[in-house]
Amino acid sequence: QITLKESGPTLVKPTQTLTLTCTFSGFSLSTSGVGVGWIRQPPGKALEWLALIYWDDDNRYSPSLKSRLTITKDTSKNQVVLTMTNMDPVDTATYYCAHSPLWGMDVWGQGTTVTVSS
Amino acid sequence: EIVMTQSPATLSVSPGERATLSCRASQSVSSNLAWYQQKPGQAPRLLIYGASTRATGIPARFSGSASGTEFTLTISSLQSEDFAVYYCQQYNNWPRTFGQGTKVEIK
């Protein structure tokens, strides 16, 4: 059974760097074809795809956020970390990680809510 | 970037009726299209991938189809648990992009 869980701060100040960790079980990020992605959802708004990392370290980012995002993996810890720099109140959202095989996002974490406020 | 446009924004349907949701891609995404269901306070759940393949455990009343850049999610007979927001997503090109969602509400 695949599970994922997001963790990180619930409140960050403007200009700070956000670091979110996705801890997963039930699969290995060293298996061919496997990836973990990050998606966010501002309150009352639609889903926004942010980034994805594959088993072979191929990284992909949303072009509009690419300069602010870094995604890394620690295969031994079964974790994927997303960092987002220069946080702004418009980045307030629920952040999800998801198991991402080549054909979509088939298992999602419960999400973690991040508020950006001074 | 591929833009995914969903219609309608809101669909009012009575329980037991059929619901038809649309999603249009701004360019070809082949069959690399997924549908997700999201209920309030919950994470999205994958319903359909490959435009028409049901994900594990998804009831047969959910079906997907495609015609060129137009994709359709059909719920044949709405159950109470199906009232939710539905998103389409293309995974053919980078960046992956979602539609803005269709809310299916009780009529």
For residue B88, the surrounding DSSP H or E stretch is strand B85-90
**CB pair distance less than 8 Å for B98 and A106:** no
Q: Using CA atoms, how far apart are residues A50 and A66, in angstroms rounded to an integer?
A: 9
Q: What residue in B sits closest to A40 (Cα-Cα)?
A: B43
- DSSP assignment of A22-82: EEEESS-TTSTT-EEEEEEE-TTS--EEEEEEETT--EEE-TTTGGGEEEEEEGGGTEEEE
**What is the per-residue pLDDT across B37-56, written as a single tens digit (0 to 9) for each?**
999 999 999 999 999 999 99
Closest residue to B50, CB basis, from A60, A103, A109: A103
What is residue A103's predicted lDDT score, i.e. its pLDDT?
A: 83
Q: Tell me which chain A residues have a C-beta less than 8 angstroms from the C-beta of B96.
A: 37, 49, 52, 60
Between the two ends of chain B, the Cα-to-Cα distance in Å is 35
Give residue-wise pLDDT tens across range A1-28: 999 999 999 999 999 999 999 999 999 9
pLDDT average, residue stretch A63-71: 97
pLDDT of residue A104: 86
Q: What is the arithmetic mean of pLDDT over A59-74? A: 97
